[in-house]
A and B are shown apart, each in its own frame.
Chain A
């Protein structure tokens, strides 16, 4: 009888853990490093925050292209998705780039890559935090 009553608790616990892991993943996407910080992985949290932040500040400083939702082709849309990966730092990038992008020079092109990399890197970090919260990674 004891086995019958305790059996449903395991899926319920798994479901709760899954929800918490999802929330941690979303938090990590919105604010770089927050997902790891919520799990008290301070080194990784600081590293994520600083690396994504540095890439965004440099990318915007180089006047890289911060894509928006009204892209003309697939590359613009993919760039927008990559830039959105930085979460709230996307707003920071737009705020920093008051004069708009200038990809007619090499530094503007570099800046575009820096911004896109910051987004993809943050998505990778958020996914890592999600997997750790699920217990799949150490």
Chain B
């Protein structure tokens, strides 16, 4: 996946980048204290990753 000159992303990287950006936005909007924001961002990112990979594996039997 080529995004502009010299910037390549795999499916997993695209999903992780998406999850990171959304987690940061949600963390800053929903929490006030920096430590709470960090906790929220890390937890949200972890759940994005877990659910994304989970859904990926759930779809695996239908991919062939």
**Interface, chain A (partner B; CB < 8 A):** 43-44, 47-48, 51-52, 54-55, 58, 61-62, 106-107, 110, 113-114, 117, 121, 124-125, 128, 138
- Residue of B2, B3, B24, B27 ringed by the most chain A CB atoms within 10 A: B3
Q: Is the interface of B mostly helix, strand, loop or mixed?
A: helix
Residues of chain B contacted by A121 (CB below 8 angstroms): 22, 25
Is B3's CB under 8 angstroms from A44's CB?
no
Is A47's CB under 8 angstroms from B25's CB?
yes
Within the complex, what minimum Cβ distance (angstroms) separates A98 from chain B? 12
How far apart sit A78 and B14, CA to CA, in the bound complex (Å)? 23
**Interface, chain B (partner A; CB < 8 A):** 1-4, 7, 9, 11, 14, 17-18, 21-22, 24-25, 27-29, 32
Contact of A117 among B3, B7, B18, B32 (CB under 8 A): B18
Q: Is the interface of A mostly helix, strand, loop or mixed?
A: helix
Contact of B21 among A54, A106, A110, A138 (CB under 8 A): A54
Given contacts A48-B28, A55-B21, A128-B29, contact A62 B11 (CB under 8 A): no
Within the complex, what minimum Cβ distance (angstroms) separates A137 from chain B? 10
Is A106's CB under 8 angstroms from B1's CB?
yes
Is A106's CB under 8 angstroms from B11's CB?
yes
Residues of chain A contacted by B21 (CB below 8 angstroms): 51, 54-55
